[in-house]
């Protein structure tokens, strides 16, 4: 269980990565804060989302649905579906970081894209742990600080459309999507779901098109695994193909 | 119902999802389908949010200054601009287009 640290924490590459990720991500909390009050949430609702939900994609989704006139239930649905990936991160972080007792409850709260990435980028168990905690806690502190700043700024700006804040929201969602379009499959999923959204906006109540797109996306992800009979039976024919153990 | 209800409910669910990863036995989430679906749902939802925020206006699809923001943000991302720069450029594009008389 106990491994000797490869290097002192001050010269640890994982801590350095964690800190730079914290600075970069924390800073854009300012855009979340400003867009959230522009979407119609109060200052305290905005602060609550960053402190308690603390997962950027879901927070943007929540305010994105609210600003589009969607019901609170749709905003909750979209935010929750976007948070499903955190469960997957939680499982791999549980294996890498192995937090015990109350640290496990804290680790869960700071399980996000960035802490998962910082830990996964390391190979030594001590460095994995340092990367996770530095990025997780670092992003938490800065993200909340800059959310407050953005919310105060957004309140001071007044009419959001005049300052192009609706354009900023569009750019923010494209910026969140972009890094995930690294292969042909996610691009195809994005195009299909974008089209589904455009086709359903005129016929469904606001907020629902987002959830329909999510269901379509889940179906696409599922059918890749079980869909073609060939793939399913192929896997059954090769029992050794699935990695054993771990 | 008050928006506070949905804010706090969504926060509780977000935390529950994170915690689930630490509590369920490995093999449940080890199913490659779960990981793949979490990935495609994330991409699909973000794509849907891009379309809704760029073209949606209640129950109508409209073309306005936000289309300019989308194009400028896309160009900035191709040129590898950092996230915050992309967001600011999106705002500038929409604001400038409105100054020029775009809806």
Average pLDDT over residues B59-83: 95
Contact B86 A194 (CB under 8 A): no
Measure the N-to-C terminal CA separation of chain B; round to a whole number of Å. Answer: 33
How close, in Å, is residue A12 to chain B by CA atoms?
Answer: 25
DSSP state of A28: T
Domains of chain A, by residue range, sit at 11-178, 181-228
| A220 Cβ contact list (under 8 Å, min separation 6) | A188, A189, A192, B40, B44
Reported pTM: 0.80
Of B17, B43, B84, the CB nearest to A190: B43
Contact A201 B55 (CB under 8 A): yes
Contact A170 B90 (CB under 8 A): yes
Residue B56: which H helix or E strand, with range?
Answer: strand B56-57
Extract the tokens encoding A4: 């000797």
Contact B43 A206 (CB under 8 A): no
Contact B48 A66 (CB under 8 A): no
Q: How confident is the model at residue B1 (pLDDT cuts 50, 70, 90)?
A: low
Comparing alpha-carbon positions, the chain B residue that sits nearest to A109 is: B15
Which residues of A are less than 8 Å from B79 in CB distance?
Answer: none
Extract the tokens encoding A17: 């990565």
Q: How confident is the model at residue A227 (pLDDT cuts 50, 70, 90)?
A: very low
Domains of chain B, by residue range, sit at 1-25, 26-99
A-B C-beta contacts closer than 8 Å: 328
> Which residues are paired to B61 by β-bridges?
B56
Contact B43 A167 (CB under 8 A): no
Could you tell me if A64 and B66 are in contact, meaning their C-beta atoms sit under 8 angstroms apart? no
| A128 Cβ contact list (under 8 Å, min separation 6) | A14, A96, A97, A119, A120, A122
Give the largest Cα separation in chain B, rounded.
Answer: 58
Judged against a pLDDT cut of 50, whether residue A241 lies above it is answered with no
Q: In the prediction, which pLDDT does A190 show?
A: 97
Which residues of A are less than 8 Å from B54 in CB distance?
Answer: 170
Which residues of B are less than 8 Å from A89 in CB distance?
Answer: 18, 21
Contact A162 B68 (CB under 8 A): no
Residue A92: which H helix or E strand, with range?
Answer: helix A84-97
Could you tell me if A50 and B11 are in contact, meaning their C-beta atoms sit under 8 angstroms apart? no
Comparing alpha-carbon positions, the chain A residue that sits nearest to B6 is: A72
- Other C-beta atoms closer than 10 Å to the C-beta of A184 total 8
The string of pLDDT tens digits covering residues A82-121 is: 898 898 889 889 988 889 889 999 999 999 988 998 898 8
Judged against a pLDDT cut of 60, whether residue A201 lies above it is answered with yes
- Give the ipTM of the model, two decimals please: 0.91
Which residues of A are less than 8 Å from B69 in CB distance?
Answer: 164, 166-168, 170-171
Average pLDDT over residues A160-186: 89
């Amino acid at each position: 269980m106990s491994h000797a640290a490869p290097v002192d924490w001050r010269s640890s590459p994982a801590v350095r990565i964690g800190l730079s990720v914290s600075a970069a991500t924390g800073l854009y909390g300012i855009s979340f804060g400003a867009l959230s009050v522009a979407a119609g949430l109060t200052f305290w609702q905005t602060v609550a989302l960053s402190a308690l939900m603390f997962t950027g994609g879901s927070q943007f989704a929540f305010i994105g649905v609210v600003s589009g006139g969607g019901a609170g239930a749709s905003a909750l649905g979209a935010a929750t579906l976007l948070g499903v990936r955190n469960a997957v991160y939680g499982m791999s972080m549980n294996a890498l970081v192995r937090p015990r007792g109350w640290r496990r409850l804290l680790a869960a709260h700071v399980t996000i894209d960035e802490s998962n990435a910082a830990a996964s980028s390391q190979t030594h168990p001590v460095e994995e742990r340092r990367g996770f905690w530095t990025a997780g806690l670092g992003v938490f502190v800065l993200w909340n600080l800059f959310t407050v700043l953005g919310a105060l700024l957004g309140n001071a700006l007044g009419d959001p459309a005049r300052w192009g804040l609706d354009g900023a929201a569009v750019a923010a969602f494209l910026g969140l999507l972009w890094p995930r379009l690294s292969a042909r499959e996610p691009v195809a999923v994005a195009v299909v779901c974008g089209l589904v959204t455009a086709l359903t906006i005129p016929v469904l109540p606001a907020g629902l098109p987002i959830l329909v797109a999510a269901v379509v996306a889940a179906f696409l992800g599922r059918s890749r695994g079980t869909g073609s009979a060939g793939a399913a039976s192929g896997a059954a024919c090769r029992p050794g193909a699935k990695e054993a153990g771990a | 119902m008050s928006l506070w209800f949905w804010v706090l409910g969504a926060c509780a669910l977000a935390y529950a999802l994170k915690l689930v990863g630490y509590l369920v036995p490995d093999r449940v989430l080890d199913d490659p389908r779960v990981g793949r679906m979490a990935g495609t749902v994330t991409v699909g939802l973000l794509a849907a949010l891009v379309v809704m925020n760029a073209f949606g206006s209640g129950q109508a699809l409209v073309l306005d200054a936000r289309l300019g923001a989308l194009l400028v943000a896309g160009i900035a991302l191709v040129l590898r601009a950092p996230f915050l720069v992309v967001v600011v450029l999106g705002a500038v594009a929409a604001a400038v287009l409105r100054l020029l008389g775009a809806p």
